[in-house]
């Protein structure tokens, strides 16, 4: 199964979050809960992002066991 569409969708979500951060900052909403939440998802969930990338790669290759061993080493 191909995962290109899923990867493209995630990339577009990420670009949208960047646009939201910029808009919030430009409109003096830098110190808001929503700004903090968007920033956290965009910049501070690197482990989760890496895990999702490996999961997609694993699914595409049909090799879940080997790639999940890599995930365990990231923790």
Cβ atoms of 74 and 50 within 8 Å: the answer is yes
Residue 23 confidence class, pLDDT cut points 50, 70, 90: very high
Which pTM does this prediction carry?
0.69
pLDDT at position 74 over 70 = no
Angle at which helix 33-43 crosses helix 4-26, to 10 degrees, equals: 140
Give the domain ranges of the chain. 1-44, 45-75
């Amino acid at each position: 199964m191909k995962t290109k569409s899923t990867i493209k969708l995630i990339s577009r979500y990420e670009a949208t979050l960047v646009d939201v951060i910029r808009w919030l900052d430009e409109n003096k909403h830098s110190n808001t809960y929503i700004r903090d939440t968007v920033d956290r998802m965009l910049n501070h969930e690197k482990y989760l992002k890496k895990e999702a990338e490996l999961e997609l790669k694993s699914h595409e290759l049909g090799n879940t066991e080997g790639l999940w061993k890599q995930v365990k080493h990231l923790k």
